[in-house]
Structure 1
Amino acid sequence: MHKYLLSIALLAACTQANAQAPVPAVDVQHYTFSITLNDQDDVIKGEADVRLSLCRDVSSITLDLDGKAADDKGMQVLTVTEGKKKLSFTHADDKLIINTAAKSGTNHTYRVTYGGIPADGLIISKNKYGDRTFFGDNWLHRAQKWLPCVDDVADKAGVDFIVTAPAHYSVVANGLKLSEKQNGSNKATHWHEDVPVSTKVMVIGVADFAISTPEFVNTIPVNAYTFKQDKSNGFKAYSCAPEILNFYSQQIGPYAYKKLANVQSKTIFGGMENASNIFYYENSVNDKAIEALVAHEVAHQWFGDAATESDVTDVWLSEGFATYFTHYYHEHKYGIDSLKKRMLIDRAGIFAFEMERMTPVVDKTKEKADITLLNTNSYQKASWVLYMLRHKLGDDKFIKGIRTYYSTYKNGNATTNNFRTIMEKAGGQNLEQFFKQWLYTAGHPKLRISYETDKTNHGVHLHIEQLQKEVYQLSVDIKMGSTNFTANMKDRVLDLNIAAPTEAGELVVDPNFKLLAEYEVLKK
């Protein structure tokens, strides 16, 4: 987003927010974070220029920023200014409240000067070789641990990072590098991202990196940043990224950013999909299954980064999509059997997870900052929902819907209902029940299928019963010998007769693995 003076675009942004949730007061347009790091201690010095617009009249401006704790970690605000005007503020309960009135539709830039030792968010530590490193790790609501910001997935903005650090370090951040200037023993590196992104994926990485020569996908440079000791393995491990980027660009739509860096890091996750610079765990460079991890994180650049969930309870729009499109990429590269194998492994994991925890994919009961939302539901079960939706709509309508969803919400935010509306239009059918039973209902169908041969006409009689509490509307494929049949269930029980197979054989339920269900088959 760009800065507008009482513009139609700003009013539209505020109106759109109102359609999804109560209108926030602040709509951040751009951040410029100037961060100074050193090798003597873990204290950072920061200066943040926060350019924002107001969606309603306010008597004060509130930003998220953790204060100092008992262990002396946290941030301390020194000054807040607007232009040359010094503003009063309070900093308590992890909120920075700037005491200044502002009118709806007006634009302001506030400069926050601050410093301290980050308790989290910016991880200052040593890598496996004992070398000092600095890595942003902001998911979820952890940007505020070291950056004054609106730390909400729905508030997206452009970002500049100007990092001053000892000259032996290299710096990577969102966007493109604009400059790198030596100043005595220090070096200032300036990265600029004008595409709006959420704070959860705004980061810096600072280490003694080895940096590969970029390979271009169309005009997008793709390269690797690894620890120098892992240069050979790391460059090879991340070399699959260009092929993956090209595949998703062709299948889904244009890549939203101007570069893709694949970075060996100290993230607490296996991989973190920071916009245009993905962070992978330290030993990823030796991971034999690295291609799947890269495919997952690159898919996030479309789903989660560019098209972002409006609320964290819709995180399946990020993690489920990245999981499914990893499988989709493997299907493209290795064939349909690879896809089926991966879906079967995920299905077993889903059933095991539901033995321990019975909650829906879209779980509105959890707190927004609860990391337990990252679970088998939001990854594997959500992926299965997309897989079943693909079979329900057919390949052409499914991918048409996916492309429309991405182009509609690229660089914006979407809800589950937004996605459903687009897929209904693309598929030409009502999907309310499909979404209700698979995303908003806990558990999965459990079917008991009994069958016997009808001695009168030599056909087969089937009795199918749903055993779970909720009644699903579903289609289950059945194969018996050379006969293939689809049973469409709308009620708890279905009785039907099928013609006798021309070739005998046992009854096989869901032979192509299209349905997330358990089956009990009984022959009378």
Structure 2
Amino acid sequence: MFMNKILLTLAICFSLLVNAQTGKYRSEKEKVNDLVHTKLNVKFDIPKSQLIGEAWITLTPHFLPTAKVTLDAKGMIIHSVTLNGQKRPYNYFENKELIVDLDRPYNKDEQFTIYISYTARPELGLGREDVNQKGLFFIDPTDEDPTKPTQIWTEGETENNSNWFPTIDSPNQKTSQELLITVPKSFETLSNGILISQEENNDGTRTDYWKQDLKHAPYLFFMGVGEFSVVSDSWKGKSIDYYVEKEYEPLAREIFGKTPKMLQFYEDLLGVPYPWDKYSQIVVRDYVSGAMENTTAVIHSDAAYQKAGELIDENKQENVIAHEVIHHWFGDLVTAESWSNLAMNEAFANYGEYLWFEYEYGKDYADAHLLKEKENYINGNNYHKDLIRFQYSSADDMFDQVSYEKGGLILHMLRNYLGDKVFFTGLKKYLIDNQFGTSEGHQLRLALESVSGKDLNWFFNQWFYSNAHPKIQVSHTVGEFEDIVTVHINQAENVFEFPLIIDIYESDGRKASHEVWVDGKERSFTFAISSKPNLVLVEPTGTLLAEIFHTKSLEEAIYQYKYAQSYKDRKQAIEIIAQNQSNKQAFDALTSALNDNSHKLRILALEKLDLVNKYSKADAISIVEKLAQNDPYTLVRAAANITLAKLMDPKYINHFVNSMNSKSYKVIESAVIGLYQLDKENTMLKVDTLSEDVKDNLSSILTGYYLETKKDKNMPYVSKHLIHGLFFIQDAKIANQYMDAFEWVSKSDSEESIANLVKSLSDAGLKYKKYGADMAGINFLRKMLEFQDIANHSNKEDIEMIIRKGMASLLK
């Protein structure tokens, strides 16, 4: 599963801030019976948000004979249970477990099939507050959003699919499946495996028959229903399909079109053929996470939807798509045996993003992604969490920056320690040895030890089965005769052992690279040199997961930018140099970074560049102008425009006007910002000529610009886009701006504006709840109730009801 990074960060901050390793020991679920095959026949009562189903569950005793079966079945009405055509006694325990007495004891390898007729009521099957865990979701048009399409989709992870069909809902179970779905004829369906047949019924419905012969875990079962356009690709004779709403049909290949290339890349890299029948992806409304790797039927949130003007800048979903593709090996083919071992799924999927970026865009691009992952982990209050941990309050707590980001970073270290040939050969062995089964961390260790011939307990014990990371203070001293340099390593807090590379730079970029082994709190390493070093660079590869504190002088930073090779070290040097731009050498070094090979570092240099004394910085300005016009990356051109805008020079008016004709939304946005500072009135006239799609994309700046003038013609736009700013407005200035905006809109006689206002308010409670900002949301909505204009408004009762409803959802 790909978790939305903002959601993930906030969930961590607002739930288990200090130590997630709480609660009882969480073992792998005991296997009494094993699933063999699951056949379902379902139809829907859409007005009631219920499913009417039949299930044929084939099982076999795991080892010892058994005369009883316990199935997870949450919140259902059980109509009948039979075995071999005969009704069987059962107990429906606490509306959660269906316990069936068999007709006799069954032995290992002896199969039996239980038939269950039932009605699933996912809203009632929770037994908890989190509606995101109901397994089956009915999405319908609402009064606030009558254009919302009717959709039905499922989300099984962690153990939520038992809200819509009886099963043994545990990741250590594997079953093949058949699914018959009856829907209105106008709807498309998607499930795991292959669509075998479609049969039209006399009542205006159609029954689709999906089948997957290869076994997978129950949480990977998927069902999606709705009015979708299906855009088809193919790869090696397999169907590659993209299910999108009609509006996005022309863009589906631009969003998802690299999927076949990704499948081929991972297959070649891992040496294990893609085992499944097809690969489909579907985008749904109101999804509860980022994406989910349901076998052959991946679901994405509507964040995947992007316009052409966004895709020309960057496909923001590409890492998510890659994440879910590699899950089909790590997670679907080989599944973590328990949620304690979740990293055996998610760490690999997370690292799969890096591997794809490295292959497709080069090492700098991938290393920039890796560095961001490291920052996310370190800044997320995760220091005291084991990667694989057997104590947690809820399985959902495992979906954090340890299982994901830290896990990926650890795999990167393991790869670099073993070398590519050993590492990927070891992964191949791990996948083949455990295919269509389950695994825990030690099975990965044993596979890599078998291939490498190395004992890896030391690595797994400190990185997989323990917590924290090295915090290293580095210093160095030069001998009296400048013939030796000694590098001092001091580990604060936890002490780790690890290989470490130290580069010693002398004149003209010449360096000697030394690999040492750090195995204590304090270690010093001495190296021969021919002259005083210009730079000592510790851990230049960016591989080690550590916080390294090594003070650099400005001269060292300038030298580091010029000669160091890694993205990490160049970025660090730019940040130091940017703080010293009054120094001419520093400014010249930052100017040279405007031409860095990495477009991300070109953007960073543009953002940091100080052109206050513009007349003495003509050479740098000339480079910025060229980047604004000619850089191959639109994101760089946009950043260059923002830098030029700071000069407030009328000579750029024509450039900004021309930039507003770009196909790139970011370039257009930067041009509007630049032009607005020079000629507000003409800027807004020019904005009026832009398409609605473009203007919608510019909401973050246009809302503010429209609020400055408060022209009634722009009120519908402002009211429509206010909801985009309803997060984290604890800042008083921002809060007051939004309050002022709501007050202005609330005075409107425009039905459209009031409808948008009510929608914003109705969404506010859900949005705040989703992002963890409960108290901010409550305080904001309380203030809304104080508005005299709303209190006197003709829609007063409707608006007040919406506000109180939002507050109630936050207070649950």
TM more than 0.5 = yes
CA distance in 2 between partners of 1:445 and 1:133 (Å): 48
CA RMSD of aligned residues (A): 1.9
Are positions 1:126 and 2:144 aligned together?
Answer: no
CA contact under 8 A between 2:383 and 2:469: conserved in structure 1? Answer: no
Identify the residue that residue 505 of structure 1 maps to in structure 2: 534
Are positions 1:98 and 2:100 aligned together?
Answer: yes
CA contact under 8 A between 2:343 and 2:404: conserved in structure 1? Answer: yes
CA distance in 2 between partners of 1:36 and 1:43 (Å): 9
Identify the residue that residue 483 of structure 1 maps to in structure 2: 512
Identify the residue that residue 265 of structure 1 maps to in structure 2: 284
Q: 1:41 deviation in Å?
A: 3.3
Q: Given the superposition, is the C-alpha separation of residues 227 and 434 from structure 1 closer, same or farther in structure 2, using an over 3 Å criterion? A: same
Q: 1:57 deviation in Å?
A: 2.0
CA distance in 2 between partners of 1:443 and 1:157 (Å): 37
CA contact under 8 A between 2:70 and 2:97: conserved in structure 1? Answer: yes
Identify the residue that residue 657 of structure 2 maps to in structure 1: none
Q: Which amino acid aligns with 1:407?
A: I
CA contact under 8 A between 1:31 and 1:157: conserved in structure 2? Answer: yes
Q: Which amino acid aligns with 2:282?
A: V
Q: 1:350 deviation in Å?
A: 1.5
CA distance in 2 between partners of 1:518 and 1:46 (Å): 54
Q: Given the superposition, is the C-alpha separation of residues 308 and 455 from structure 1 closer, same or farther in structure 2, using an over 3 Å criterion? A: same
Q: Which amino acid aligns with 1:510?
A: E
Identify the residue that residue 143 of structure 1 maps to in structure 2: 161
For the residue of structure 2 that corresponds to 1:99, the secondary structure is: strand
Q: Could you tell me which of 303, 306, 309 is aligned with 1:283? A: 303
Q: Which moved more, 1:287-296 or 1:305-314?
A: 287-296
Q: Deviations over 1:80-134 (max 9, x none)?
A: 0112111111112200000224222221000000014222111111377421111
Identify the residue that residue 703 of structure 2 maps to in structure 1: none
CA contact under 8 A between 2:91 and 2:100: conserved in structure 1? Answer: yes
Greater C-alpha radius of gyration = 2
Q: 1:235 deviation in Å?
A: 3.8
Identify the residue that residue 35 of structure 2 maps to in structure 1: 28
For the residue of structure 1 that corresponds to 2:258, the secondary structure is: helix
Q: Deviations over 1:205-227 (max 9, x none)?
A: 001111113x2221221111112
CA contact under 8 A between 1:451 and 1:522: conserved in structure 2? Answer: no
CA distance in 1 between partners of 2:352 and 2:504 (Å): 32
As a proportion of its length, which structure holds more strand?
1
Q: 1:450 deviation in Å?
A: 2.0
Q: Which amino acid aligns with 1:476?
A: L
Identify the residue that residue 492 of structure 1 maps to in structure 2: 521
CA distance in 1 between partners of 2:119 and 2:547 (Å): 55
CA distance in 1 between partners of 2:367 and 2:342 (Å): 24
Q: 1:335 deviation in Å?
A: 0.9
Q: Given the superposition, is the C-alpha separation of residues 508 and 32 from structure 1 closer, same or farther in structure 2, using an over 3 Å criterion? A: same
Q: Deviations over 1:455-504 (max 9, x none)?
A: 146210222121123x2111121122112212211222212210115673
Q: Could you tell me which of 215, 218, 221 is aligned with 1:199? A: 218
Identify the residue that residue 402 of structure 1 maps to in structure 2: 427
For the residue of structure 2 that corresponds to 1:111, the secondary structure is: strand
Q: Deviations over 1:220-272 (max 9, x none)?
A: 21111112232222343111211111111111111121000011124311111
Are positions 1:358 and 2:377 aligned together?
Answer: no
CA distance in 1 between partners of 2:89 and 2:429 (Å): 46
CA contact under 8 A between 1:272 and 1:280: conserved in structure 2? Answer: yes
Identify the residue that residue 119 of structure 2 maps to in structure 1: 115
- The number of residue pairs the alignment matches comes to 494
Identify the residue that residue 76 of structure 1 maps to in structure 2: 77
CA distance in 1 between partners of 2:551 and 2:155 (Å): 52
Identify the residue that residue 250 of structure 1 maps to in structure 2: 268
CA distance in 1 between partners of 2:327 and 2:373 (Å): 19
Q: Which amino acid aligns with 1:272?
A: M
Are positions 1:228 and 2:246 aligned together?
Answer: yes
CA distance in 2 between partners of 1:462 and 1:248 (Å): 40
For the residue of structure 2 that corresponds to 1:102, the secondary structure is: strand
Q: Given the superposition, is the C-alpha separation of residues 45 and 352 from structure 1 closer, same or farther in structure 2, using an over 3 Å criterion? A: same
CA distance in 2 between partners of 1:250 and 1:265 (Å): 31
As a proportion of its length, which structure holds more helix?
2
TM-score, structure 1 length as denominator? Answer: 0.91
Q: Which amino acid aligns with 1:57?
A: P
**Structure 1 unaligned spans of 5+:** 1-19, 68-74
**Structure 2 unaligned spans of 5+:** 1-26, 124-133, 506-510, 554-812
Identify the residue that residue 473 of structure 1 maps to in structure 2: 497
For the residue of structure 2 that corresponds to 1:177, the secondary structure is: strand
CA distance in 2 between partners of 1:60 and 1:440 (Å): 36
CA distance in 2 between partners of 1:411 and 1:265 (Å): 28
Identify the residue that residue 66 of structure 2 maps to in structure 1: 58
CA distance in 2 between partners of 1:502 and 1:192 (Å): 71
Identify the residue that residue 177 of structure 1 maps to in structure 2: 195
TM-score, structure 2 length as denominator? Answer: 0.59
Q: Deviations over 1:422-458 (max 9, x none)?
A: 0111222111011111122211001122211111462
Identify the residue that residue 396 of structure 2 maps to in structure 1: 371
For the residue of structure 1 that corresponds to 2:66, the secondary structure is: coil
Identify the residue that residue 180 of structure 2 maps to in structure 1: 162
CA contact under 8 A between 2:383 and 2:467: conserved in structure 1? Answer: no
CA distance in 2 between partners of 1:440 and 1:238 (Å): 36
CA distance in 2 between partners of 1:462 and 1:39 (Å): 69
Are positions 1:297 and 2:305 aligned together?
Answer: no
Identify the residue that residue 802 of structure 2 maps to in structure 1: none
Q: Which moved more, 1:492-501 or 1:426-435?
A: 492-501
Identify the residue that residue 343 of structure 1 maps to in structure 2: 370
CA distance in 2 between partners of 1:242 and 1:262 (Å): 12
Q: Which amino acid aligns with 2:161?
A: A
CA contact under 8 A between 1:452 and 1:523: conserved in structure 2? Answer: no
Q: Which amino acid aligns with 1:450?
A: S
Q: Which amino acid aligns with 1:300?
A: H
CA distance in 2 between partners of 1:503 and 1:510 (Å): 20
Identity in percent: 22
Q: What is the 5 A alignment of 1:447-458?
A: 447-456=472-481, 458=483
CA contact under 8 A between 2:196 and 2:210: conserved in structure 1? Answer: yes
Q: 1:39 deviation in Å?
A: 4.2
